[in-house]
Structure formats: C-alpha cells, structure tokens
C-alpha cells in the first residue's frame, strides 16, 4: 500500500493483482479522509469484477499516543455504535469477562458494538463445543452472557486500550 503525503480527501484508484483469481483485475480505491473520533485515515475498498472478491479497510494514519476509550452500552440503540479497532487496539468488556488482545497477526477492523459481540460469541460457541468439564461450563456461561448483552438485557461497558491511540468508539447519532 502507498501511504503518500496526503491532502484532505485525496482519492486514488488503480488496478492490482487479485488475491482471489490472480488476474490484474482488482479495482482498488483509496480515499484519504478525516474520520470523526479517529483523525486522518485512509479508506481502502477493493473489488474484483472477475471473481467477486471484495474488501473494505479503514487504516488510521496518526499516532496519538496511548489512549483508552470507553462506551457504556445500556440499550438497543447503543449496539449500533461504530467501533474502529486498529491493529494495536485491545478490546475489553469487563462485565462479560471478555478480552480481545492484538495477536501475533494483528488486524484492524471496523464494525459496530453488536459486531464485536458477534465475534466473541463465535469464539465462545466454538469453545463450548470442544472443551470439557469446567472450561465447557465457563464457555457456555459466556455464550449466555453475550446473548443477553446482544438482546439489550445486560448493560455493559466496552473499552478499547490502544498503544497508538488509533481506535475509537463513535456513538450512534
């Protein structure tokens, strides 16, 4: 990727080798923009008309120093708050006992609070299916708590700690 010196809302589009079909048919668009709660970032969208591969990434461009963001989720509308997790962001939900640390292959993602819960739910359901004994019970409890949280029954706080300060939680309008 080219991270060029940017003007506000600078826009590039070009063709690249598609990771799906290996042809040079991947249409890539890069838009440099200011994102509320995040600052300067590059939005990258890709689409291959030949094999249908598509992806969208939002990559922050500023190092803002260590930053911790917190968002209290107490109702259905809060679940739609936008969550921008940079590759260095660690997500914590203390009330649900959940933690997502940057792993060995850290990736950033953009989703909403519900999408974050969905990720945790998938992991907990997998664990509940393969673990035995107390670990299985623990995973089953986690599944129940996450479902309650997704249903708006269980209020919780979502926290992101980011060494480079490039993660954000943007409340719904």
Give the residues lining the site for Zn ion (CB under 5 A).
18, 20-21, 48, 50-51, 53
Nearest distance, CB of residue 18 and Zn ion, angstroms: 3
For tokens 């623990």, the residue is: 138
15 or 77: CB nearest Zn ion: 15
Q: Which is nearer to Zn ion, 16 or 107 (CB)?
A: 16
Q: Least CB distance from residue 24 to Zn ion, whole Å?
A: 9
Nearer to Zn ion, 54 or 126 (CB): 54
Token duo for residue 160: 């992101």
Smallest gap from Cβ 35 to Zn ion, in A, equals 28
């Amino acid at each position: 990727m080219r991270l060029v010196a940017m003007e506000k809302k600078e826009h590039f589009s070009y063709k690249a080798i598609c990771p799906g079909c290996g042809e040079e048919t991947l249409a890539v668009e890069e838009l440099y923009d200011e994102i509320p709660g995040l600052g300067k970032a590059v939005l990258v969208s890709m689409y291959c008309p030949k094999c249908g591969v598509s992806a969208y990434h939002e990559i922050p461009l500023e190092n803002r120093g260590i930053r911790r963001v917190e968002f209290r989720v107490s109702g259905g509308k809060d679940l739609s708050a936008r969550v921008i997790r940079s590759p260095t962001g660690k997500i914590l939900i203390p009330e649900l006992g959940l933690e997502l640390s940057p792993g060995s292959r850290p990736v950033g993602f953009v989703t909403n609070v519900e999408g974050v819960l969905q990720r945790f739910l998938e992991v907990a359901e997998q664990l509940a299916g393969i673990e035995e004994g107390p670990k299985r019970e623990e995973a089953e409890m986690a599944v129940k708590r996450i479902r309650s949280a997704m249903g708006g029954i269980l209020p919780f706080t979502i926290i992101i700690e980011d060494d480079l300060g490039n993660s954000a939680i943007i409340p719904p309008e």
